[in-house]
Amino acid sequence: MTSSPVDPTTTASWGDLYGHYQEFQGDLRGWFAADPGRAERMTHVAGDLHVDLSKNLATDETLGLLVRLAHEVRLPERIEAMFTGEHINATEDRAVLHTALRRAPGAQPPLVVDGQDVDADVQAELDKVGAFADEVRTGAWSGITGKPVRTVVNIGIGGSDLGPVMVYEALKPYGRTGSDALEVRFVSNIDPTDVAQKTADLDPETTLFIVASKTFGTLETLTNARLARAWLWERLIAAGAIEDDDDAKQAAVKAHFVAVSTALDKVADFGIDPANAFGFWDWVGGRYSVDSAIGTSLAIAFGPDVFRELLAGFRTVDEHFRSTPLEANVPVLMGMLNVWYVNFLGAHTHAVLPYAQQLHRFPAYLQQLTMESNGKSVRWDGTPVTTQTGEIFWGEPGTNGQHAFYQLIHQGTRLIPADFIAVATPAYPLTDTEGDGKAVAPGADVHELFLANFFAQTKALAFGKTAEEVRAEGTPEEIVPARVFSGNRPTTSILAPALTPSVLGQLVALYEHITFVQGVVWGIDSFDQWGVELGKKLALEVAPAVSGDDAALAAQDSSTQALIRYYREHRA
C-alpha cells in the first residue's frame, strides 16, 4: 500500500473532534454519578485482558468521534494490509509481518508474501530454535569440556536485548530451579562494565553466548561479542581446559557461541558454526522481534512449549485486533484515546504502571516500541506531519512509583494519562503473619494489600478530593489548598487472571497494535528508524578523535573538541 496517507486534520471527524474539544469539560465524578452503566459499557475484553476505559477523560460522544476518525484515515484497510503482507514500511519498501511470527502452525490459508511461503519459513525456524533449546536443556549440547550449560549470556542491543530481558524477568517463575537451574544474563551496553560484571563470576566451561544481530554488524553487539570471546579464551586457557593455540580457540567458540543472524558469512568469520545461527527476516523490526529467533535465550530458559504459549498469547490479541469491530476493539480504542490526549488535550507523556514486580522491565520495553516507532516528523510519503506525534512513555512498578513520581500525576500541572496493569493471582502468594497492628492485620494477604493500592490510585486520580472533603477531615484552613486533589486524571485499568506466558504475549501485542493505530492516524511509517542511524554513524567518525587523531579532532565542532580534550586530559 503505497498511497499517500490521509491527513487527519482534513477529515470531517477531526473538525468535529476539535469542536467537541472546545466545549469539553472533563467531569469524571459527575459522569459516574449520572451514569451507573458507564463502567460496564466502557469495559472491554481482549483475550484474557479485562480493560476498563471508564476512568478516561472521554464521553460516548468522544469515543464515537474517535472511531469515526479511525475509519476516515482508513485504519481497517491498513490493518488488513499489515496482516496480509503489503509493503506498508514505505521508506524501506518492506512488508511488516511480526504478526506472522505467531500464526498458528498449519494456519489456512497459508500466508504467501512476495512469492515466499512465510508460514513454512517461520515454523521451520521455530522448530530449529526449539530443537536447540531442548539440546541445551537436556545437556545434549555441552561446552568444550563436556559440561552442560548452566548460564546463557545474550549479547544484543535495542530489540535484541529489551524484549528478551523483559520477557525473562516476567516469566522467571517458569524457569528451572535448584541443581537443574539455567540462568540467562543479558549484555547490551558498550560500556565495558556491562560485559565485565555479567561474566565476572561465571564458569567458562558452562557458559553459552548468544550473539543477536540480524546483520552481524551492530557496533555495540560485535564489540561485546569480541570481549566475551576473549574472556572465554583467557579463562579456558587459565583453567587448563584448552591449549593456547588457534585450533583449540576456534573449537571453544563453536562450543560456546551461537548466533541469531542471517549474515552467515560474518557469523562464520567470527568463528561460529553457521549451522548454529538462527535467522529472522527483514520484515521483522528489532523492536517487534522478541517472538522470533531473538527469543532463543527464552526458549532455552523456559522451554519451547512455554515459548509457544507466549506466541499463542500474541496471536490471541492479533486476532482480536484484526476481526473485532472498532467500537469494541481494545487496541484501537486505546490508541485513539492516546490520539485524543496528544492532539487535543495536550498530553506529552504517558505512564505505564504495572502492579506486578515481574513486569518491572515492561515500561523500558515499551519505550523503544512506542518512541522508536512513532517518534517521526514526516509521513510515510515524505511530507511533513500535520499534527503532534508520539508520546514519551515511562513508568515503574507500583507501589515503588507511588513513593517517587505519583505526586506529579496527582497534583502537578501536566496531564499524564496512565495505564495501570495488574493480575488477580500472584506468582508468589504470601501472607503477613504478624501484621503491623494498624493497617495490616495478622495473616493479611499481601497481594490483596498490593492490589488495594492499584484500585485506590485509579480512584484517587479519577475523583480526587474536594476542599469540602478536606475540611470535613478537620484540616486547618491554611493547608486545605495543598490537600485538594482535582481529580480528572485519566487512567486505563488492565487486569488479567495471572501473568502466564500467554497473558504476557497478549500485553505485548496490545501495545504493538496501539502503537500501529496511532501511527496510522498520524500518517507515519511506524516501522523504520532512520533517527537511530545518525548518532551511530557520527560515533564512527568521532572515534579516531577520541583515540588521539589530531586531524580528526580538528574536524569537530568547538564543543566536541573541548569535551574530547577534557577526556584525554583526565583519562587515568
Q: Which amino acid is at 205?
A: E
Chain centroid to Cα 394, Å, comes to 11
**Distance (Å, rounded) from C-alpha 253 to C-alpha 272?**
6
Q: Is 211 helix (H, G, I), strand (E, B) or coil?
A: strand
Measured in degrees and rounded to the nearest 5, phi and psi for residue 490 equal: -75, 140
**Distance (Å, rounded) from C-alpha 93 to C-alpha 532?**
18
Contact 114, 165 (CB under 8 A): no
Name the active-site residue from 205, 220, 372, 512.
372
Cβ within 8 Å of residue 252, ≥6 positions away: 144, 232, 233, 236, 242
**Cis previous bond, 399, omega within 30:** yes
Residue 480, H or E segment: none
> Does 465 participate in catalysis according to the annotation?
no
Name the active-site residue from 80, 234, 448, 536.
536
Query: Over 432-448, what HEC string results?
Result: ECCCCCCCCCCCEEHHH
**Distance (Å, rounded) from C-alpha 468 to C-alpha 473?**
9
Query: Which of 519, 525, 533, 529 lies closest to 389, judged by CA?
Result: 519
Chain centroid to Cα 555, Å, comes to 38
Contact 28, 488 (CB under 8 A): yes
Name the active-site residue from 71, 80, 243, 403.
403
Contact 374, 518 (CB under 8 A): yes
**Residues making up the chain, counted from first to last:** 572
Cell of 31: 459522569
Q: Is 557 helix (H, G, I), strand (E, B) or coil?
A: coil
Give the DSSP letter of residue 11.
Answer: S
CA 76, 77, 78, 84: dihedral to nearest 10 degrees? 110
> Does 536 participate in catalysis according to the annotation?
yes
Q: How far is CA 114 from CA 79, 130, 206, 403, in A?
A: 18, 27, 43, 52
**Distance (Å, rounded) from C-alpha 362 to C-alpha 23?**
36
- Which residues are part of the catalytic machinery? 372, 403, 536
